[in-house]
Amino acid sequence: MSINISTIATALDQAARHAEPLAQFSTHSPFSLAQAYEIQRVSMQRRYADGERSIGIKLGFTSRAKMQQMGVDSLIWGWLTDAMLEEEGGEVALSRYIHPRAEPEVCFLVGRTIDRPLTLLEAAEYIEAVAPAIEIIDSRYEAFKFSLEDVVADNCSSSGLVVGPWSRNLSGLDNAGVLMRLDGQLAQVGSTAAILGNPLRSVAEASKLVSEAGLSLPAGSLIMAGAATAAEALRPGVHVSVEVAGFGESAFTCR
């Protein structure tokens, strides 16, 4: 069965803009992973045409906890834009999301343009700083249910991010404790080691994915490494904080 890339890309873009969920596509019109990335690309083009600017990329399903929570088993990637940046320590209006969830992550700041596949050892040389971060994911699909192809088409549920203080020293990042609190109560406990064994591996993976796509990540780009634990649903009034031991804290309050 043939699918219409542009129709799906437009529907996903509209769903994101209006915070209106839609039914999964792949259950009745299956498409390939390559087609899913093409839908993602076309959908993002619509945003850029409206003035949004790419600020980097995010990786998804880099931890077992996330793969198990969502029932998928492959690393995925999507785009971050300036419109997704939420203020650190500020209020996040949940009205622009459908059913948002928070994930504890680390965010990398690219110091040297990444334009080729990097090894794990090389990856650190391209990174200027790292920060504790919270990704706000929001699937455009009803009930947060999707196949791998659906979620890739939906720009990997990318919706918002909050980035904490930057550290230039990356030592200890391979196994730092990660705590996510909701209203001060521990909600998720993990380690950065849960992110591909070492979050710098997300930078190496990002370099391969971007190179394979014939693209590059300019200096100043952000790379969200992927969640260290399962995600937590957000509700109005809740204060969310993520602490990465030795690297500080990132937080926001839901409105």
List residues binding ligand OOG (CB under 6 A).
60-61, 66, 70, 103, 135, 137, 139, 151, 156-157, 226-227
CB of 153 closer than 8 Å to CB of 39 = yes
Q: In terms of CB distance, is 60 or 190 closer to ligand OOG?
A: 60
Q: In terms of CB distance, is 60 or 164 closer to ligand OOG?
A: 60
DSSP state of 191: E
Which phi and psi (to 5°) does residue 43 adopt?
-65, -40
Q: In terms of CB distance, is 26 or 139 closer to ligand OOG?
A: 139
Distance CA 230, CA 66 (A): 5
Provide, rounded to whole angstroms, the least separation between the CB of residue 1 and ligand OOG: 25
Provide, rounded to whole angstroms, the least separation between the CB of residue 154 and ligand OOG: 8
Q: In terms of CB distance, is 33 or 115 closer to ligand OOG?
A: 33
The full 3-state SS of 79-145, as one line of letters, equals: EEEHHHECCCCCEECHHHCCCCEEEEEEEEEECCCECCCCCHHHHHHHEEEEEEEEEEECCCEHHHC
Provide, rounded to whole angstroms, the least separation between the CB of residue 27 and ligand OOG: 17
Provide, rounded to whole angstroms, the least separation between the CB of residue 2 and ligand OOG: 26
